[in-house]
Structure 1
Amino acid sequence: MEIYKIINNLLEAVSFNDFIKSKEEHYWIIAEPDEILNHNDFFRFHKSTVAECTNAKQHPRLEVYDDVSFGVINIINHIENWFEAKEINFYITHNYLIFVTRGKNKLIEQIKNEIKENFKDSSNYNINESKILYMLLDRLTSMDNIILKKIESSIASLEEQVISGVNQDFTVEIIKLRKQLLYLKRYYEPLIDISEDLEENENGLIDEGAIRYFTILINRIQRLNHNVINLRDYVTQVREAYQAQVDIKLNKTMKFYTVITTIFLPLTLIAGWYGMNFTYMPELDWIYGYPFVMGLSLTVVAVCLYYFKRHNYL
């Protein structure tokens, strides 16, 4: 468990014993789920929230109590055209903020280093629990515009290949893009709800000076979510264009086989006619009977080919 006293924009590491002796100081705590469970005699958090800390893969949300707010959020990493999610839980009270994470978290370490390096001499930005929580939520989406631009470029490239008539099955790529965008949509919507609940500040635990930051955050996430919806529509249009190309190719194939079938219908009639072998069928004993039927068949094929070629069926 890491415990930092927040004083004059500085983070001062302290022990758990020093923390429990203080009543009025402000703290930022980074803890493992087991550490929250073992020290809950002091924290007195609701048992259901502690159980959720120890059980990963909870649905992102915010639970507001009179003297504490408990949240579940996911941090996603974009890895090889897919997303990997890691869960973080947090508690915020009137004088301390706890991040509950499993092992070292890269994003939390970045925030810690940023506070130590950039805010120690700042007089315009006072670090407190609310602003550290905002910094975490802010960095969850700070690079997402780049991710969405990459997805948009992938969709545009796919569209060009579809329109150019590349003979390739794009179904798997289209499904993968739709799944990525659905994943992001399901990621942003709970994040908007959490940010709105924090902005509402029902239990008064969020610093009034930080409320406007959460308002800015909500607007950004809503824009990202709107971009995701637009990209899903774009993928749908590409899928429809691809389906149209598939239908066109299928129609061409069916037209070809229809023409072939039509050409052979008269030949089938001729073969059936002379294959009846009636006793008084003069062509059967005619010396030129075979050349006649061959010439008739070739003439029928030539006439059919000429007709279909002239009317652009071939």
Structure 2
Amino acid sequence: MFYTFRDEAENITVEEAKACDFSLGYIGISEYDEVGRLFDLPKNRVETLGYCKYGECVCVCLDKIKIFIRHSFVIIVCDNPKEKLPIFQNVLSKLDSTDAGRGKIVYTFCDELLTEEAGIHAEFQKTLAKLEKQILDGKQSENLNRILYCEKQKCISKNNYYSKVQNIIEELKDNDFELFDEAELKYFDNLSDKIARLRDDVRMIIDSTVHLRDAYQSAIDLKLNNTMKLFTVVTVIFAPLGFITGWFGMNFKNMPLVSSPYGVAVAGIVSVAVTVGMIVWLKLKR
């Protein structure tokens, strides 16, 4: 899809776009070779995230989206054009003949992409809130630690992505080949501020992930401590009983109560008294 701007965005053919003073294109990978020959784009598709120069053409690579900028055109190449089509349509709706310059187009498209990133942050936060509730309720899954690790790695990848986008924006502000009017350079300051806010948000999410992992480990330690406490109490209570059993189990002829008809009852009473006494003592000592 190619457009030129008169009173409003007007759909034109590729050949008409080539003949226009300025046009905006949105194409998929399958169209790249044909359009590339017509507009003299790089023969090899750009895959590296960053900012590149090809002759008098500047290429901005944002993940699976490439933006080629020259004085006569801005062409957006998307690996999955249907996925980002709503974003492109939003860009078109915000442009008219008075401000459809290269800088405004690049700014508006990048701004729409970054707005989408804010929604991804909200999903991260919902996931962390759900995991936090599981920890507080003591119902966390066995693979919670792995989930937290994966979420943290996703956030770190996002932070690295924003860092590279920040570098791209700085390169665009240098205005190589004077592609942008001076008045348009202010748009990139706005993008820089938005990227800075996104980086702050994602760092906060990373910190929250670390805190959740610590809370999860503390919950595990507390559970282990309670288990060990129970085992300790049981051991303390039954240690005297083991001693009594061992004592009366010795086969000596002159052992007290061996021949007495009340021997079993006395041993039982002593055992119960010792057990009750240990429980009372433990409760008093807490």
- The structural deviation recorded for 1:230 is 1.1
Contact in 2 for aligned 1:107/1:136 (Cα 8 Å) = no
Counterpart of 1:84 in structure 2 is: none
Deviation digits for residues 189-236 of structure 1 (CA, Å, limit 9, x no counterpart): 222222222122234333333211011111111111111101221232
1:260 aligns with 2:234: yes
Counterpart of 2:58 in structure 1 is: 69
Q: SS of the residue aligned with 1:284? A: coil
Counterpart of 1:93 in structure 2 is: 70
Counterpart of 1:234 in structure 2 is: 208
More helix by share: 2
- Point out where structure 2 has 5 or more consecutive residues left out of the alignment: none
- The structural deviation recorded for 1:244 is 1.7
Could you tell me how far apart the structure 1 residues matched to 2:118 and 2:274 are? 65
Letter of the 1:168 counterpart = Q
1:291 aligns with 2:280: no
Counterpart of 1:311 in structure 2 is: 285
- The structural deviation recorded for 1:127 is 0.5
Q: 2:88 aligns with which of 108, 111, 124?
A: 111
Deviation digits for residues 255-311 of structure 1 (CA, Å, limit 9, x no counterpart): 011110111111112222222313443432233222222222112111111111111
Contact in 1 for aligned 2:49/2:61 (Cα 8 Å) = yes
Counterpart of 2:25 in structure 1 is: 29
Could you tell me how far apart the structure 2 residues matched to 1:60 and 1:277 are? 85
- Point out where structure 1 has 5 or more consecutive residues left out of the alignment: 53-57, 75-86
Contact in 1 for aligned 2:91/2:109 (Cα 8 Å) = no
Q: 1:209 aligns with which of 183, 188, 191?
A: 183
Could you tell me how far apart the structure 2 residues matched to 1:238 and 1:161 are? 11
Letter of the 1:226 counterpart = D
Deviation digits for residues 101-121 of structure 1 (CA, Å, limit 9, x no counterpart): 245435445534653x5544x
1:276 aligns with 2:285: no
- The structural deviation recorded for 1:34 is 4.0
Identity over the aligned pairs, expressed in percent? Answer: 25
Q: CA RMSD in A?
A: 2.9
Q: SS of the residue aligned with 2:257? A: helix
Moved more, 271-280 or 141-150: 141-150
Could you tell me how far apart the structure 2 residues matched to 1:310 and 1:185 are? 55
Counterpart of 1:133 in structure 2 is: 106
Going from structure 1 to structure 2, the CA distance change for 1:65 and 1:205 (only over 3 Å counts) comes to farther
Going from structure 1 to structure 2, the CA distance change for 1:38 and 1:226 (only over 3 Å counts) comes to same
Could you tell me how far apart the structure 2 residues matched to 1:110 and 1:159 are? 33
Going from structure 1 to structure 2, the CA distance change for 1:64 and 1:306 (only over 3 Å counts) comes to same
Contact in 2 for aligned 1:5/1:14 (Cα 8 Å) = no
Could you tell me how far apart the structure 1 residues matched to 2:140 and 2:95 are? 54
Going from structure 1 to structure 2, the CA distance change for 1:286 and 1:207 (only over 3 Å counts) comes to same
Could you tell me how far apart the structure 1 residues matched to 2:210 and 2:101 are? 45
- The structural deviation recorded for 1:26 is 1.1
Going from structure 1 to structure 2, the CA distance change for 1:159 and 1:7 (only over 3 Å counts) comes to same
Deviation digits for residues 127-160 of structure 1 (CA, Å, limit 9, x no counterpart): 0233212211110012444443454355345445
Letter of the 2:10 counterpart = L
Going from structure 1 to structure 2, the CA distance change for 1:15 and 1:65 (only over 3 Å counts) comes to closer
Q: 1:155 aligns with which of 107, 123, 128?
A: 128
Could you tell me how far apart the structure 2 residues matched to 1:72 and 1:64 are? 11
